[in-house]
Structure 1
Amino acid sequence: MKDLTVKDFMNKILNGAAMGIVVGLIPNAILGEVFKALSGYGEIFQMLSQIVSAFSFTVPVLVGMFVAIQFKKTGVEMASIIGAAFVGSGAAQFVDGAWLLKGTGDLINIMLTVSFAVLIIELYNNRVKNLAIVIIPLLGVFAGFLGLLTLPFVGQLTALLGAMIENFTTLQPFMMMVLMGIAFALIIVTPLSTVAIAYAISLAGLGSGAANVGITATLFTLAYGSSKVNSKGTTFALFFAGPKMLMPNYLGNPIMTLPIVINATVTSIVAFIFKIQGTTASAGFGLTGLAGPINAYSFMSGSSIVNIGILIVQYLVVPLGIAIITHTIFTKMGLYKDEMYKFAAEGK
């Protein structure tokens, strides 16, 4: 730990967070809509739908576990980091005398909290080995307390960004859709929650459609780059876990902003032409669970075949085509290399 640079420390936190998100969200992303559609055919499907939904609530726990693994912590230390992550996530809230579980919590604050926990445990350095089983969990509680202290301020950061993005809705539709698409395309590869921002500003209609196609643009940009250096399984997982899976890659290589912005701009212009829309509930998901295209279809009128064709062009042909073009040009120009998209946990 002493030999770790700040960059190395942050990379371990980001890689742990990325793995926690992938494992926590993939079951619901793949099977959630399937079991929901089948729920009318028997209680077993209702139960399975609830199970995969509940599985996503484990994201704070899984982030804590994978971060602890990154830092090669012992079992007791890992358990304490996990406990701190869960407390600091804000997912569990005490309301009217009862505990309520609310979503997966705040990812930024989860990462802050596990950082506190790792640093505190490292500072303690197992000084009293015989009391480690007692002292280390207490250190985890203290880290969780620090996380709860920072939680309101992190929430204000999300609200502030949401307020800034809300200003885009006052612009004329074309500019609004382009800027909204770019904003959500970039936010999806940061610890910020696109879903939380969408709800904070009640994003709907064309704005929701722009947000979803922007996220889709990022997804295909990362997926095509990933296909060059990662296994098919890793690239396939991107379509369910979402772009946050390669969040460490993006934050460590800001040049990725260039192809993402270009792709988001083009896909948003196409979305303006096709008048792609969505709801507040669907905004921020992109292709995950097919939330974006399914909701966009519900706003479309006319021939079903034509509408499905439009959605295929919007959510597949355009973002994939631009991803191929930008990646090919920029790698040949030497702006970046394929290795930039290498998933940290590939092969592990």
Structure 2
Amino acid sequence: MTTLTQNIQKRTNPLSIKQFIINVLNGTSLGIVITLIPGALVSQLLLLFSGNQIATQIGFMTTLIQSALPIVAGFAVGQIFKLSAIDSGSIGLAMFVSAGVVTNTPKGMIIGGTGVVLNIILVALLATALVKLTETIFGHLKMLLQPLFVLVVAGGIGLITLDPLRRVQMVIGSWVAQATDLTPILMGAVLAAAFAFLVVSPLSSVGVAMAISLTGVGSGAANVGITVASFTLAAMGASVNPLGGTLAHFVGSPKIQMANMLTKPKLFLPTTIAAAIMGAISTLLNIKGTPFSAGFGFSGLIGPLTAFNEAGKTGMAMLNVIIVFVVLPIILALGMKWLFMTKINMIKPEDLKLTLK
């Protein structure tokens, strides 16, 4: 068998394709965490220093880097594939121009937001495939031609798919919005479960919440659903992940588990069950939120602090927030871990192992 035939078979091997997709998802997830965690860590703390010049600068920096998500994710994908700086940079550039973080206006280009994650992942797959297929084709002209080639082809396709995939997110948002027509407790359970799914999917939980103007107890349910999903994933993977990776699930974003969740759908069972339970409880306790806070969960303490403010900043409100955002999520997380990992042995710790390199 010739070397060429072997290479073709290797590239089309289902296991190789599956690992290729997993690597791209892991790199994208890592980029999301790297760019979003700094802002999540300090967002609420900076509110205490409103008007302070240093706090304003820190806020500017942590907000700006969120728009660098596509570029950082592109380099993270390159690192996982052990690609060169030129290869990684080419992927990052294609992802950046087609992510939706830049808007072209008559007065110039405006940078803002994190982009459409679904499109970012699609372009990451296309750009990485192009890079892998053309690693040696340009020879000594690689530095000149490959960034342009990947940018025009993968980035160009991404610009075409950007609006359709943005509309997909809006359609899914309208489906989620239908849950608000249900009875309060059922609504809370459904919304919590839905957002527990969204936060680890290629879709933006915050974007969906903003699109449907989710507020009140619906917003509160969405946040507690994300929170308990974060604690559940952290608890189940704690034995195989470093402390920083474990904390990143709820301090930052549980989207760090996106690759594992999408390739092992069984992981959605414990998070969905726990989220539905917490959503019903949070509705009974009248936990509320705003369209902006919905979709963040525990990240940056945005969900808990918003719920506390919406409840009037009373002692009882503080107690309810601690119970709903800390005590019960930890209890449910440990319960789900016992049920799915010890009792029925459906999930292994290795199923939640993170790729952090």
Both structures adopt the same fold (TM-score exceeding 0.5): yes
- Across the aligned residues of Structure 1 and Structure 2, the Cα RMSD in angstroms comes to 1.5
Query: Residue 93 of structure 1 aligns with which residue?
Result: 103
In structure 2, distance between residues paired with 1:61 and 1:172: 43
In structure 1, distance between residues paired with 2:335 and 2:87: 47
Say which of 155, 161, 166 aligns to 2:166.
155
1:178-214: CA deviation from partner (whole Å, max 9, x where unpaired): 1111100111111100111111111111111111011
1:130 offset after TM fit, Å? 2.0
Query: Residue 149 of structure 2 aligns with which residue?
Result: 139
1:286 offset after TM fit, Å? 0.5
Query: Residue 328 of structure 1 aligns with which residue?
Result: 338
Query: Residue 122 of structure 1 aligns with which residue?
Result: 132
Whether 1:61 and 2:67 are equivalent positions in the alignment is no
The within-5 A match list for 1:73-222 is 73-142=83-152, 143-222=154-233
1:149 offset after TM fit, Å? 0.6
Residues 157, 14 of structure 1: CA spacing in aligned structure 2 closer, same or farther, 3 A cutoff?
same
Q: Would the aligned equivalents of 2:221 and 2:288 in 1 still touch at CA under 8 Å? A: yes
Whether 1:20 and 2:31 are equivalent positions in the alignment is yes
1:208-262: CA deviation from partner (whole Å, max 9, x where unpaired): 1111011011111111112222122211222222110111111122111111111
- Partner SS, residue 89 of structure 1: coil
**AA paired with 2:57?**
M
Say which of 272, 290, 302 aligns to 1:291.
302
Say which of 8, 31, 36 aligns to 2:19.
8
In structure 1, distance between residues paired with 2:227 and 2:74: 28
1:19-51: CA deviation from partner (whole Å, max 9, x where unpaired): 1111111111112322332133x3122112211
The count of residues paired between Structure 1 and Structure 2 equals: 344
Query: Residue 30 of structure 1 aligns with which residue?
Result: 41
Query: Residue 43 of structure 1 aligns with which residue?
Result: 53
1:89-140: CA deviation from partner (whole Å, max 9, x where unpaired): 1101102241011211111111111211122223334223122122101112
**AA paired with 2:319?**
G
Whether 1:267 and 2:274 are equivalent positions in the alignment is no
**AA paired with 2:347?**
Y
In structure 2, distance between residues paired with 1:54 and 1:344: 25
- Partner SS, residue 215 of structure 2: coil
In structure 1, distance between residues paired with 2:243 and 2:93: 34
Q: Would the aligned equivalents of 1:32 and 1:53 in 2 still touch at CA under 8 Å? A: no
In structure 2, distance between residues paired with 1:205 and 1:36: 22
**AA paired with 1:108?**
L
Runs of 5+ consecutive residues of structure 2 not aligned to the other structure: 1-6
Single out whichever of 75-84 and 115-124 deviates more from structure 2. 115-124
The within-5 A match list for 1:297-316 is 297-301=308-312, 304-316=314-326
In structure 2, distance between residues paired with 1:242 and 1:128: 39
Q: Would the aligned equivalents of 2:44 and 2:302 in 1 still touch at CA under 8 Å? A: no
In structure 2, distance between residues paired with 1:118 and 1:265: 37
In structure 2, distance between residues paired with 1:128 and 1:89: 26
Q: Would the aligned equivalents of 2:248 and 2:254 in 1 still touch at CA under 8 Å? A: no
1:324 offset after TM fit, Å? 0.6
In structure 2, distance between residues paired with 1:174 and 1:336: 29
Q: TM-score when scaled to structure 1?
A: 0.95
